[in-house]
């Protein structure tokens, strides 16, 4: 496993910035670099299961099944990825899942009162590192532009 790490400064207030990260409406916008139309199902609360889902070219659901392992609104969230979504099924027992299950992804928002620093940390399989690194660069840029009203 390798870890993608991104840090970006964002002007604004904590609640607004966090809302951009977590709100389903803006989540879809900033996650577009990963997959157009990406959305999530579930509540970002400790112990909950959240499914991060996109649709392939045939309209079939695919994505990740994750558990929220840490959460404080406006401050941080950590997800532990546990499996894949394939169509209407959650899949936990394939070699592809085994190679990746247990990876964590987290967002931390620090600073204030007018400028905050967003730290993103995402564990990824080595063969996905370059793509995820580039894609996360674009995604955090989108968070910033949405939060600052420049998108």
CATH number for the domain running over 2-147: 3.30.530.20
Q: How far apart are CA 83 and CA 109, in angstroms?
A: 27
Q: What is the C-alpha separation between 58 and 63, in angstroms, rounded?
A: 14
For residue 134, give every residue at least 6 positions away whose Cβ sits within 8 Å of its Cβ, in sequence order, or none.
none
CA 128 from centre of chain: 15
pLDDT over 70 for what percent of the chain?
A: 99
| pLDDT greater than 70 at residue 145 | yes
In this structure, of 6-10, 11-15, 141-145, 147-151, the range with the lowest mean pLDDT score is 147-151
- Read off the pLDDT band of 143 (50, 70, 90): very high
pLDDT in tens, 21-58: 999 999 999 999 999 889 999 999 999 999 999 988 88
Domain spans in the chain, listed from the N-terminal domain onward: 2-147
CA dihedral 82, 84, 87, 90 (to 10 degrees): -30
Q: Which residues pair with 3 in a beta bridge?
A: 123
- Residues 84-114 have pLDDT tens digits of 999 999 999 999 898 888 999 999 999 989 9
pLDDT given for residue 58 in this prediction: 86
């Amino acid at each position: 496993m390798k870890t993608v790490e991104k840090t970006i400064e964002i002007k604004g207030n904590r609640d607004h910035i966090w809302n951009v990260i977590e709100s389903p409406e803006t989540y879809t916008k900033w996650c577009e670099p990963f997959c157009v139309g990406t959305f999530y199902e579930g509540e970002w609360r400790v112990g909950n299961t959240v499914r991060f889902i996109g649709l392939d070219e045939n309209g079939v659901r695919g994505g990740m099944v994750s558990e929220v392992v840490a959460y404080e609104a406006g401050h941080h969230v950590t997800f532990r990825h546990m499996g894949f979504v394939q169509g209407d099924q959650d899949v936990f027992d394939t070699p592809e899942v085994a190679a990746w299950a247990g990876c964590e992804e987290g967002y931390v928002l620090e600073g204030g009162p007018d400028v905050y620093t967003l730290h993103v940390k995402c564990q990824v399989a080595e063969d996905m590192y370059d793509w995820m690194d580039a894609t996360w660069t674009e995604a955090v840029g989108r968070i910033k532009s949405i939060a600052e009203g420049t998108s």
